Structure 1
Amino acid sequence: MNKFAILGLIVVLVVAAWAGIWFFVSGQIRQQVEMLAMADGETTPRLTCGDLEIGGFPFRFSVTCNTAEITSGDLTASLPAIDMQALVYRPTHLLAAAQGPAQISDAFTGNENAIAWQSLEASLQLTDWRIGRFSLVGEEVEWNDTLIGSDLIASSPHVEVHLIDMADHHQPDAGLASLAGYAVANDLAVPLAGIGSGEVTLEAELRNLPDDLRALDAPDLLRRWQQSEGELNLISLAASDGEDTMAADGTVRLTDSGLAEGQITVQSNGLIERFATAIPEPLRGMVMGEATDEGGFTQTINIRGGVVMIGLLPAAMIPSLFAASP
């Protein structure tokens, strides 16, 4: 056998081995996706596909879930298709895109909504199984109430959300990681709030989450987060519509019985005039807080035992997010 024949045989064996590995891995991917349909939809979200396609041979893995339905508790979301893919030589960088609109129904309240978009793309980069960076970008996003007809709730030509690993706060021995979050919505319209062209930016930190992505769908995630002294640090929430502005910062955590605790400070300018008809005259000052020298207001929102207090007024009750330990 001459050297060219030997070389050809080697090439054939390599290609055959590569193909075998690819089809084996694609089979494992199909099995894992199909297992998502076996979840109960209560403690773990359930994903079902009307048709599941696995492709991308030879250099990538592409998963397309057509007629997708996601169930989590009372919420069900239906989408025409979800596409996910990763390159064979870069399996820790996942890309995804979804076709809209998403039809969302709430079995408890009976609400029905539709979220449409021109494009919706996501990217996930992993370090081992730790989230390195997650990004979600939507263009021409529109959210409508579809229970009776179609009423616009909110729309924005550009929305993006990012989660970035805070490497300095990683605790490998404890299995904990922290994420810095950033979100923005440009030219936001919310008709019911009288917002025609608003801008919203959010900066926050999620401290002491599990550092393994696979643990984030655990039914006791919130309990584990609380026990790890986890907290949501709202660094900055800034919103504006014309000359009307609002800014907030603060920290929220959970008690060992699953109740929210924390404090948020809110500065506003122009909101009292915007919501003059919604807040009775005797309560406006108590709701908006103290007047500032700049003509705005500052207010402190305290959350104790799940009770949200705006100044001295109880405004809402946040139920326990997990059952207390026996």
Structure 2
Amino acid sequence: MTENKADSKMRKRSSPMRKFWLLVAVIVLLAGGLCGAWYYGANRLEREIASLKQRLTDEGVAADCEGQEIRGFPFRLGVFCDTFFYADPVNGVTVSGNAIRSAAQLYRPGHVVSETDGPLKVSAPGLVPLLLDWEKLRSSVRVSMSGLRRTSLVAENISVSADDLGLVDLLGTMRGLQMHLLAGDENGNGEPQDLVASAAIDGWQIDDGGTGQIEPVDFSLLVTVRDGLALAVSGQDPLTVLRSQGGEADLAGIEFSTGDGGRLRASGPLQLGRNGKLSGELELDLDDPQKLVDYAASVFPPAREMLGNVASYLEAFSANTGGRTQVRGLKLTLRDNKVLLGFIELAELPRFY
């Protein structure tokens, strides 16, 4: 009887100890598994980067991430570079920049965020070499089993300059920039086909040498490109596809506004033909269109004469509200690059290709 009571007391004392050591064992196993998963992921990431570099080299493209390190242990996994460059001599494109820091949570590897230090040098055919700099630039990419879901870029206090043989000439600045690409509606197979693109520029200031003649403007865009995502991931040349079958887009809104109250907003369906000409129906809203003409003339003086007739046409469709000239719901027709207001041809756009 006495021995049974002693055994019972020993079991009661040892039960919490067993639970404690069991918990310790579980923690050790989880920590070991986490460490193993991180190092496996880091090794896999390094192999993928090396494979990508080799594929680019085989295509005649030079690309490197100097000072490359895989960091973030134990919960994050990311690539850090001191500098990077990309050079495609066949197409004449070169890009080089400073440090990149990227990371993804180990339990969410499909969501990658990154931060890049300026400046960025860009050279491409038909463009003067550009130097882009910023205060902050962050980006993110989110993918799923069906492919790309979203990619975003947000930057603050950007400057754009021409860099001609080391002689830097400021072209303009922006207080803020946002660009987003999203997978559109999914088809019956659960795979998105369309591409939704949005952009916003806050305080775009074209450099005027400090004269103050050109005011800052804001710009925004939201458009859905039919089968745009499917085309982007297909590896086909977009220009070849457009020339063979054309393209369609639904312009939800494109807006341009000046600091003194001028505003233009357009929306509607657009079609780009195989001949490189644009057709569609646009609905326009305008506030103080003369201020838009004034802005265009401050950037390009001959624009005043070119747009003067258009502004006079708009007077017939305007209303004065609170001292502001407003035009609402104006219908424009695009027919093979010709811009028509009713039966009046306002302008003709150049061919896209």
TM-score (norm 1): 0.76
User: Greater relative contact order: 1 or 2 (C-alpha under 8 angstroms, separation 6 or more)?
Assistant: 1
| Counterparts in 2 of 1:200 and 1:45: CA distance versus 1, 3 Å | farther
| Counterparts in 2 of 1:221 and 1:284: CA distance versus 1, 3 Å | closer
CA RMSD of the aligned region, Å? 3.9
Aligned partners of 1:309 and 1:316 also within 8 Å? no
Q: What's the secondary structure of 2:194's corresponding residue? A: strand
- Is 1:83 the counterpart of 2:120 in the alignment? no
The residue type equivalent to 2:128 in the other structure is: N
CA distance in 2, matches of 1:82, 1:317: 39
Q: 2:138 aligns with which of 101, 114, 121?
A: 121
Q: What does residue 209 of structure 1 align with?
A: 228
Q: What does residue 290 of structure 1 align with?
A: 313
Q: What's the secondary structure of 1:196's corresponding residue? A: coil
| Counterparts in 2 of 1:76 and 1:260: CA distance versus 1, 3 Å | farther
| Counterparts in 2 of 1:151 and 1:234: CA distance versus 1, 3 Å | farther
- How many residue pairs match? The answer is 309
CA distance in 2, matches of 1:9, 1:112: 60
Following superposition, the deviation at residue 140 of structure 1 comes to 0.8
CA distance in 2, matches of 1:218, 1:186: 33
CA distance in 1, matches of 2:112, 2:241: 27
Q: 1:187 aligns with which of 203, 212, 217?
A: 203
What aligned pairs does 1:128-143 form with structure 2 within 5 A after superposition? 128-143=145-160
Q: As a proportion of its length, which structure holds more strand?
A: 1
Q: What's the secondary structure of 1:111's corresponding residue? A: coil
CA distance in 2, matches of 1:27, 1:98: 23
Aligned partners of 2:183 and 2:194 also within 8 Å? yes
| Counterparts in 2 of 1:131 and 1:226: CA distance versus 1, 3 Å | farther
| Counterparts in 2 of 1:246 and 1:170: CA distance versus 1, 3 Å | same
Identical aligned residues as a percent: 20
Q: As a proportion of its length, which structure holds more helix?
A: 2
- Is 1:146 the counterpart of 2:146 in the alignment? no
Aligned partners of 2:110 and 2:142 also within 8 Å? yes
Structure 1 runs not aligned, ≥5 long: 320-326
Aligned partners of 2:78 and 2:101 also within 8 Å? yes
Q: 1:171 aligns with which of 180, 187, 197?
A: 187
Larger radius of gyration: 2
The residue type equivalent to 2:218 in the other structure is: E
TM-score (norm 2): 0.71
Following superposition, the deviation at residue 156 of structure 1 comes to 1.5
CA distance in 2, matches of 1:42, 1:249: 44
Structure 2 runs not aligned, ≥5 long: 1-16, 319-324
Aligned partners of 2:102 and 2:115 also within 8 Å? yes
Q: 1:243 aligns with which of 249, 255, 261?
A: 261
